[in-house]
Amino acid sequence: NFAIVLSQNGNWTEAEKLQVEVVEKTEQTLGPAHPDTLISMGNLALTFRDQDKWTDAEQLQVEVMEKTHQLLGPAHLDTLRSMGNLALTYQNLGKWTDAEKLQVEVMERKQQLLGLAHPDTLRSMGNLA
């Protein structure tokens, strides 16, 4: 979406405004627990992270992770992605224990789902290093 392009080009303020609008409209149209709404919320959280708004990113990522877990289950790749994103935010906040716990869980589940040689599994292993 255009907000992601803005964010990738360093236009974080504009990206954030657009992402907030997307989240609001998606929630109104599809509901707060729809997968597309959760993706939009996750994108907004990443925009917060790009701006060093770690607390805002953390709050939104916790919500996305919990809702994704409830909706799709603990072994769904979207759930694992949301957990990994939150773990990286925890690392930047200095919450090392929380970050490690999530990263280990993500890595173990990806090993089970995708195998040891899959790029996503390897990336998860690298995030633990």
- Give me the chain's average pLDDT, please: 94
pLDDT of residue 10: 84
Task: Give all domains of the chain, ordered by start, each with its CATH number.
Answer: 2-128 (1.25.40.10)
Q: What angle do CA 38, 94, 104 make, to 5 degrees?
A: 60
In this prediction, residue 129 has a pLDDT band, given cuts at 50, 70 and 90, of confident
Instruction: Check whether 120 has a pLDDT greater than 80.
Output: yes
Alpha-carbon gap, residue 1 to 116, rounded angstroms? 32
Q: Concatenate the DSSP letters of all residues of 68-108 into one string.
A: HHHHH-TTSHHHHHHHHHHHHHHHHTT-HHHHHHHHHHHHH
pLDDT of residue 110: 95
pLDDT greater at residue 27 or residue 10? 27
